[in-house]
Amino acid sequence: MSAASPAIGAGAAAAPLLYLDGVTVSFDGFKALNGLSFLVERGEIRSVIGPNGAGKTTMMDVITGKTRPDAGTVFYDGDNDLTHLDEAQIANLGIGRKFQKPTVFENLSVAENLELAQKCPRGIVRTLLAKLSPSQRDEIAETIRIIGLSGREHLRAGALSHGQKQWLEIGMLLIQDQRLLLLDEPVAGMTDRETAATAELILSLAGSRTMVVVEHDMEFVRSLAARVTVLHEGSVLAEGSIDFVQNHPAVIEVYLGR
């Protein structure tokens, strides 16, 4: 199976990379997403904020195929409807996800984690017979350098600190060469210095990758200087610059009014 070739051209470039249209998900009557619609343009960084239960994680679950919506469609890169694909197929279309709780393969080393994530054929027999080429080795070493884990490549991932695991997970997305990165609370549990370094890393990727960042840390969101979407009760409450949404009466109402 060949990966879908990126549609390059004047017409396609103008189309959004991700388009959620009227997505509804309910769990036992509770609507986690309620007719959620929004667009993400190619190459943009988008921050998604919202109070607990606003549907941020459910939205990521729908985009990555973990949860099937009851209604609505999710178009990616033209006319790929993600609601009909499973997790692995969606990952192979170029969508990567970093979970809220860092999930790396604890019994594998840092380098082995990256080796598994590295962009290459995902077939079982191909994986059985895979050998690392010199350029793949270099790429792993380079990624380890970018995520600041040089010298720890043979350390078991389970022995890393919380922040280091977050970075390793981001490194796994980078080496997978995904075009759309969904980052669920990438700086949760990080020290201020680690948070600043993470913001720098994300900003350095702007343009070459499209990113959707879910975060509670307003300082961090501000440092990304990106367009902000506020979710509330499963749909979009407000959208705009960080200053715009922070002064939006409805946003102040849901964040402070109760």
Partner 1 sequence: MRRADSLFTPAGWAWFLGTGAALIIGVPLLNALPQAGSFAQIPDYLVPLLGKYACYALLALSLDLVWGYAGILSLGHGAFFALGGYAMGMYLMRQIGTRGVYANAQLPDFMVFLNWKSLPWYWYGFDHFAFAAVMVMLVPGVLAFVFGWFAFRSRVTGVYLSIMTQALTYALLLAFFRNDTGFGGNNGLTDFKDILGFEIQAPGTRRALYIVTVIALGLGYLLCRFIVASKLGRLLLAVRDAEGRVRFIGYSVAYAKLFVFTISAVLAGIAGALYVPQVGIINPSEFSPANSIEIAIWVAVGGRGTLVGALIGAVVINFAQTWLTGSMPELWLFVLGGVFILVTLAFPRGLLGFAGRLQSLRARTVSTPVVGEEHAP
Q: Which is nearer to partner 1, 91 or 238 (CB)?
A: 91
For residues 11-50, which are near partner 1 according to CB under 8 A? Answer: none
Smallest separation (angstroms) from partner 1 to the CB of 143: 14
Asked if 88 touches partner 1 (CB under 8 A), the answer is: yes
Determine the longest span between alpha carbons in the chain, in angstroms. Answer: 59
For residues 132-151, which are near partner 1 according to CB under 8 A? Answer: 132
Asked if 122 touches partner 1 (CB under 8 A), the answer is: yes
Distance CA(248)–CA(93), nearest Å, equals 36
Distance CA(234)–CA(232), nearest Å, equals 5
* Range in contact with partner 1 (rule: CB under 8 A) among 47-55, 92-100, 224-232, 235-243: 92-100
Q: Which is nearer to partner 1, 132 or 218 (CB)?
A: 132
Q: What is the x/- site pattern for partner 1, positions 56-75, by CB under 8 A? A: --------x-x---------
Distance CA(80)–CA(109), nearest Å, equals 35
Asked if 156 touches partner 1 (CB under 8 A), the answer is: yes
Are the beta carbons of 109 and 140 closer than 8 angstroms? no
Query: And the tokens for 159?
Result: 């022995």
Over the range 78-112, which residues count as b (16 or more CB within 10 Å of their CB) and which as e?
A: eebebbebeeeebbbbbbbbbbeebebeeeebbbb
Asked if 159 touches partner 1 (CB under 8 A), the answer is: yes
Number of residues that bind partner 1 (CB under 8 A): 36
Asked if 193 touches partner 1 (CB under 8 A), the answer is: no
Q: Pairing between strand 210-214 and 45-49?
A: parallel
Smallest separation (angstroms) from partner 1 to the CB of 28: 21
Q: Which is nearer to partner 1, 86 or 142 (CB)?
A: 86
Q: Pairing between strand 235-240 and 227-232?
A: antiparallel
Asked if 155 touches partner 1 (CB under 8 A), the answer is: yes
Are the beta carbons of 76 and 18 closer than 8 angstroms? yes
Asked if 92 touches partner 1 (CB under 8 A), the answer is: yes
Distance linking the first and last C-alpha atoms of the chain: 51
Residues in contact with partner 1 by the rule CB under 8 A = 64, 66, 86-88, 91-92, 96-97, 99, 103-109, 111-112, 115-117, 122, 124, 127-132, 154-156, 159, 172, 176
